[in-house]
Structure 1
Amino acid sequence: MLNKFTDFIKLYCKSGDGGAGIIHFRKEKFGPDGGDGGKGGNLLIRGNNKLFTISHLKYKKHIIAENGKNGGRNRITGSNGKDSIIEVPIGSIVKDIYNNIIIEILNNNEEKILLFGGKGGKGNCHFKNSLCKTPFFSEKGESGKELIFVLELKLLADVGLIGLPNSGKSTLISMITSSKPKIDNYPFTTLNPNIGVLNYKNFKKIVIADIPGIIKGASKGKGLGFEFLKHIQRNKIIFLIISAEVIYYKKNYNIIINELNFFDKKILKKKRLLVISKSDLLDQELKYEIIKELPKFEKYIFISSFSKEGLYELIYYICNILS
């Protein structure tokens, strides 16, 4: 299946060359009047909160800013080259080829310069002096910088939905946001993170990410979850989702907790809620048996995307923490 979600890409980037200063002489007594070259365009990166993936750069891996124009007669300076701007989602990281972080974009419209354009060269009007009144030389423009960057995306979602395959994550995000993920009754129907936006009353928009199901050993590279676990690192809240259909609730809970702990211990320090999905399959007696099996320190809630049980309380929980 084609993977439409792109969160890692290499880019060849080059800022613009500076324009050359020119050699020119006026016929009058004033002599040399060659103008300076314009400055080369910078190469910038800018955050855009309407983007959630870097797939738009997948087939545009060479990004080059415009060169500055050459100078003109009558000491006219050439025009500067246009900057080239790379639009990226909030949460994007720029690294060098040695995996060192250079820039992080964490805010909408945040703009940073990756490469400065080359300076324009001086025209021959600058080199006239008492010893050389007719200079037949000028400067070339400074070359632009060129580097290969690694662009990586870690989703800056407010809420992350984490659980084993078929736990009901995609159904939940489809119920409380405008996201319409693929939903089916077999493992790994979610092959890419799904992003949804919750607009609740006058509250600010809340970004929710559904991470592909993780399995035992995901932190070591098994299944699909490992590739996307990094997207949980910036979530403010995490929901641990366990389906009411499973037999061993504590075992499923421990698998999720252990994989998160192996991957990044800091994740477990975030605000979190244990969500038992598909609760319409349970009666009160079964709910009580599940509660007895769950860790005492975990906050929990029963929800059903079918009967709508617990959905309002879930939304209220999110808004209360983020307010």
Structure 2
Amino acid sequence: MKLVDEAEIEVIAGNGGNGCVGFRREKFIPLGGPDGGDGGDGGSVWLVADENLNTLVDFRHERRFRAQRGQNGMGRQMYGKGGEDLFITVPVGTVVTNVETDEVIGDLTAHGQRLLVARGGKGGLGNMHFKSSTNRAPRQATPGEPGEQRTLKLELKLLADVGLLGFPNAGKSTFVRAVSAATPKVADYPFTTLYPNLGVVSVEPHRSFVIADIPGLIEGAADGAGLGAQFLRHLQRTRLLLHLVDIAPMDGYEGVEVMSPVEQVRAIERELERHDPGLLAKPRWLVLNKADLMFEDEARERAQAIVAELGWTQPWFLVSALGREGTWPIMQQVMGFLDRQRHAEAEADEDASA
């Protein structure tokens, strides 16, 4: 399924019901006192995170959501029925922003988490509340309050443990196919990946992690060039980045000249820093891909030269994603890294709660 990662919707909470003006009228009691009941509260609008959803595409077709109005109050001190709340399901990882104020209302990061986005109006008061010693027959009641109305921007940030980044045609989609059951489109032209793809890597029973492939970046991505800039947000939640580089790029593509592997790495580092310096500070391993296009010794020498020129200090690997050569050892090391990260986070949480 194509992943739609942004949507704009309008949410309208229900108005409160009006209070009632009524008087007690029974046999032998022709002039009873006021007995108008209160109006019911309007229904509120909630967003609910659902781990079974992975796209905001449904909101491209339906953009307006309205909760139920509260019932008006009635005579005999009968209160109006409250309007039913409206629950809208969204994918886990959805960030909700108020379009008018640009304020982030909430971030839904766990299955079942709820977020109140529009509160229903309070019901009006019936005339029984206005009786006094000087006003025995009040004809006063209050209308229900209007429900909140907001325009919301929904922005999906994938909850992946590992993120792939690299230039178009670096082999990211092929790499995801090689290490997981995901089947992103693969072809010999740039920008094959138009939407983020998720794959689950199962290292052994009950030990797995999620890997995300985003559209390739090019120089100027932070200013909107290419397709990847709008998806960089998906890397913000990851614990580790795998930076894929074509070890021997042969051709450029329309509007972009060919760049050496070292130039590609440095160009993407500049884009990451411009978009969010926190991304550049994340652990990032270098994966030199397409080793199958050279003789083994030649590929190894070229990889070592690239690493030396970059002054690379983090882990690096030489692989052929197409031939699935060298990919599995990376996944095992990634799993070990994530296990250590999660263990450290759990210990930090225990220390904080102690």
Same fold (TM over 0.5): yes
Matched with 2:8 is 10
Q: SS of 2:292's equivalent? A: helix
Residue 50 (str. 1) matches residue 38 (str. 2):
no
Q: Does 199-208 or 9-18 show the bigger shift? A: 199-208
CA distance in 2, matches of 1:321, 1:101: 32
Q: SS of 1:141's equivalent? A: coil
Seen in structure 2, the aligned counterparts of structure 1 residues 91 and 185 have a Cα distance that, compared at 3 Å, is same
Residue 209 (str. 1) matches residue 222 (str. 2):
no
Residue 134 (str. 1) matches residue 137 (str. 2):
yes
Identity %: 36
CA distance in 2, matches of 1:322, 1:74: 65
Asked whether the equivalents of residues 203 and 319 of structure 1 are also in contact (C-alpha less than 8 Å), the reply is: no
TM-score by length of 1: 0.90
Asked whether the equivalents of residues 197 and 212 of structure 2 are also in contact (C-alpha less than 8 Å), the reply is: yes
CA distance in 2, matches of 1:58, 1:249: 39
Seen in structure 2, the aligned counterparts of structure 1 residues 138 and 98 have a Cα distance that, compared at 3 Å, is closer
Residue 76 (str. 1) matches residue 88 (str. 2):
no
Matched with 2:91 is 89
CA distance in 2, matches of 1:252, 1:100: 36
Matched with 1:235 is 238
Q: 1:39 aligns with which of 38, 41, 44?
A: 41
Q: SS of 1:315's equivalent? A: helix
- Structure 2 counterparts to residues 76-225 of structure 1, below 5 A: 76-96=78-98, 97-203=100-206, 206-225=209-228
The letter for the 2-side match of 1:291 is Q
Q: Does 295-304 or 162-171 show the bigger shift? A: 295-304
Matched with 2:257 is none
Give 1:205 shift: 5.2
Asked whether the equivalents of residues 244 and 282 of structure 1 are also in contact (C-alpha less than 8 Å), the reply is: no
Residue 276 (str. 1) matches residue 288 (str. 2):
yes
**In the TM superposition, what whole-angstrom CA distance separates every residue of 1:178-223 from its partner, at most 9, and x where no partner exists?**
3221111111111111122334434465322111111122222221
Seen in structure 2, the aligned counterparts of structure 1 residues 163 and 68 have a Cα distance that, compared at 3 Å, is same
Q: SS of 1:198's equivalent? A: strand
Asked whether the equivalents of residues 52 and 195 of structure 1 are also in contact (C-alpha less than 8 Å), the reply is: no
The letter for the 2-side match of 1:95 is T
Give 1:110 shift: 1.7
Matched with 1:254 is 266
How many matched pairs?
A: 321
Q: 1:317 aligns with which of 333, 343, 349?
A: 333
Give 1:250 shift: 1.9
Matched with 1:291 is 304
Matched with 1:19 is 17
**In the TM superposition, what whole-angstrom CA distance separates every residue of 1:113-155 from its partner, at most 9, and x where no partner exists?**
1121110112222223333333333221111111222222232
The letter for the 1-side match of 2:24 is R
Matched with 2:347 is none
CA distance in 1, matches of 2:158, 2:325: 29
Q: SS of 1:246's equivalent? A: coil
Asked whether the equivalents of residues 240 and 256 of structure 1 are also in contact (C-alpha less than 8 Å), the reply is: no
Asked whether the equivalents of residues 216 and 255 of structure 1 are also in contact (C-alpha less than 8 Å), the reply is: yes
Give 1:265 shift: 1.9
The letter for the 1-side match of 2:216 is G
The letter for the 2-side match of 1:82 is E
Asked whether the equivalents of residues 8 and 59 of structure 2 are also in contact (C-alpha less than 8 Å), the reply is: no
Seen in structure 2, the aligned counterparts of structure 1 residues 122 and 186 have a Cα distance that, compared at 3 Å, is same
Structure 1 unmatched ranges of 5 or more: none
Seen in structure 2, the aligned counterparts of structure 1 residues 141 and 252 have a Cα distance that, compared at 3 Å, is same
Q: SS of 1:45's equivalent? A: strand
CA distance in 1, matches of 2:105, 2:97: 5
**In the TM superposition, what whole-angstrom CA distance separates every residue of 1:240-290 from its partner, at most 9, and x where no partner exists?**
001244263322222222222232221121122111223333443123211
CA distance in 2, matches of 1:299, 1:272: 8
The letter for the 1-side match of 2:8 is K
Asked whether the equivalents of residues 23 and 35 of structure 2 are also in contact (C-alpha less than 8 Å), the reply is: yes
